Chains A and B, each alone.
Chain A
């Protein structure tokens, strides 16, 4: 949860901006801060008729960091985007198989993808704050863009809590009305994280969140990820194996046989095991830098 806990925050903060979507898979309504487990079974991902990723089965544990590694084009980002149905934003894209969050199929017939995305937030490769909005408005974007009413004090609380969770509050508290695009790259990315957690999702997906950042900003984001996993299920795609080793609890390795063939999940295990004694030869080759 973005707020440290329910004790210090007034109760309305939690109920006010919370999305109350009836079709939303929220099994544990009394505890919205609960991070959720995701089960993926036999997932095939298509772009039109092209099978991009094939037969992925995995479980993503709550309150932990799961990292996906693999060479370029192996489908790890594509797979990540299917977890909150961002995949289908691309025309012609579709999936076959099931993705369940705490037993609810995210691709069920009556599930609204928009509601899924409110439960499973996303942070992108390049920081993308809304250029027309101030820092404060960016944090509140998830609320304001949906025309939801929120009182001034609730909004201020939400902004502070979200920015504090993203380790950005102290840096920007004096210039909340300044445009978000005026921050440094690392700050912008943390602003995007604050924006994502202001919607109070249960899961946070991160698609190579540090690839456009310098080493110091990367360090700040990695520290943040370690803190956030207390409250969220975090899934991160990264090109950087050291990063996966540093931040993640479990690691999945994706690979591709060749151009035109589908990407596959080769192996998934605890991060320590993956980097010391992987079961598959391909994983070992990749980790030891023999290809990719």
Chain B
């Protein structure tokens, strides 16, 4: 061994670790970033950007196509569009549609959320491992069935079968406006639609809730159990409070799906354009998505523009719901990350 470098020049007299030190020049990275390396990076980045552009394009094209309807007077639309049904303005046409969309989705959500929480808890905290994965698979299966099949089943099987049940409901609870009778026969009514929608959104709410429940800190759970809590008390004191915002956002994701569902509504519901809360009467409500699918074949150019305007409204509503739910989830992440 030579001793040329044996003298240690390293310990220089304590220079501070501060910004006064000269920063290294940026050119360092340039040599690596050229040729295919750079081309590939650009390619990947533009694919990412394309997604943003696509989303903006969806909004832009809908706005562009609905512009004629947005700027025409109600009477002009009424005179040219066959399905306008004597409405006085675009807003008065859109109003009941938005109402119907929200009502159907809300009822579906009210049915699906408690069920989904139950199933999620069952698979995360009650079922043995093997059973839990089997159940997860079954729920995935529900999500895999195409909506047109749900529609077919809902219209041809569920609606006739469930009619006596709805009749009974209207007999017993008819004093509540929601369940005003007599129940339509066959039951091509909003409650049947919402029931099918509930089954359709069950998987996503279950999946997200289950994720959240599984993330409950083991420490909290064990602390509860160590204090002599039963399993249900443990869930109530540790799991549910921890998962609350996650469940909220899961429900909102489900809501987003229910708002946009088309075929099940088209095939089951007997439509109407009123602000009616009667879930068991036929010909009262309609949703935006179903209305577009039904009226599209007979639409002329202004009619198409009108439908585009309703589609734009649906897009905005679902975007708001989805963004809100993502925002809730995002906030949660930061929160649980700090724990």
Contacts and interface: CB of A to CB of B under 8 A. Distances in A.
A and B touch in the complex (CB under 8 A): yes
Interface of A: 23, 44, 46, 49-51, 54-59, 61, 64, 88, 94-96, 107, 109-114, 249-250, 260-262, 264-270, 279-280
Contacts of A50: 17
A236 B30 CA distance: 29
Contact of B1 (A51, A54, A260, A270): A270
A58 B3 CA distance: 11
B17 to A, nearest CB: 4
A114 B32 contact: yes
B1 to A, nearest CB: 5
Nearest to B10: A265
Given A88-B28, A114-B32, A96 B22 contact: yes
B9 A57 contact: yes
B23 interface: yes
Nearest to A41: B9
B36 to A, nearest CB: 10
B8 A96 contact: no
A113 B29 CA distance: 9
Nearest to A265: B10
A212 B5 CA distance: 32
Contacts of A64: 1
Contact of A267 (B8, B27, B29): B8
Q: Report whether over half of chain B's contact residues are helix, strand or loop; otherwise say mixed.
A: loop
Contact of B31 (A57, A109, A250): A109
B227 interface: no
B130 interface: no
Contacts of A55: 10-12, 15
B6 A270 contact: yes
A262 B24 CA distance: 16
A246 B31 CA distance: 39
20 contacts: A23-B31, A44-B21, A49-B19, A50-B17, A57-B9, A59-B4, A59-B5, A61-B5, A64-B1, A88-B28, A94-B28, A112-B32, A264-B10, A265-B8, A267-B8, A268-B8, A269-B8, A270-B1, A279-B8, A280-B8
A147 to B, nearest CB: 10
A203 to B, nearest CB: 16
A76 B128 CA distance: 48
Contacts of B21: 44, 51, 96
A261 B17 contact: yes
List 3 tightest A-B contacts by C-beta distance, closest first. Answer: A59-B5, A265-B10, A96-B24
Contacts of B22: 96
B17 A262 contact: yes
B32 A61 contact: no
Nearest to A114: B32
B15 A54 contact: yes
Q: Which of B6, B24, B31 has the most CB of A within 10 A?
A: B31
Q: On chain B, which size bracket covers the interface? A: 20 to 34
B28 A54 contact: no
B2 interface: yes
Contacts of B6: 268-270
Contact of A61 (B2, B11, B23, B28): B2
Contacts of A96: 21-24
Interface in B7-49: 8-12, 15, 17, 19, 21-24, 27-32
A249 B24 contact: no
B5 A109 contact: no
Contacts of A46: 23-24
Nearest to B27: A109
Contact of B17 (A57, A260, A280): A260
A112 B31 contact: yes
Contacts of B3: 270
A12 to B, nearest CB: 27
Given A264-B10, A265-B10, A58 B5 contact: yes
Contacts of B23: 46, 49, 94, 96
B24 A94 contact: yes
Nearest to B22: A96
Contacts of A112: 31-32
Q: Name the residue among B6, B10, B17, B24 with the largest chain A CB count within 10 angstroms.
A: B10
A268 B7 CA distance: 7
A43 to B, nearest CB: 10
A290 to B, nearest CB: 19
Contacts of B24: 44, 46, 94-96
A179 B14 CA distance: 51
Nearest to B26: A94
Contacts of A114: 32
A88 B29 contact: yes
A113 B1 contact: no
Interface in B97-117: none
Interface in B35-82: none
Contacts of B31: 23, 109-113
Contacts of A54: 12, 15, 17
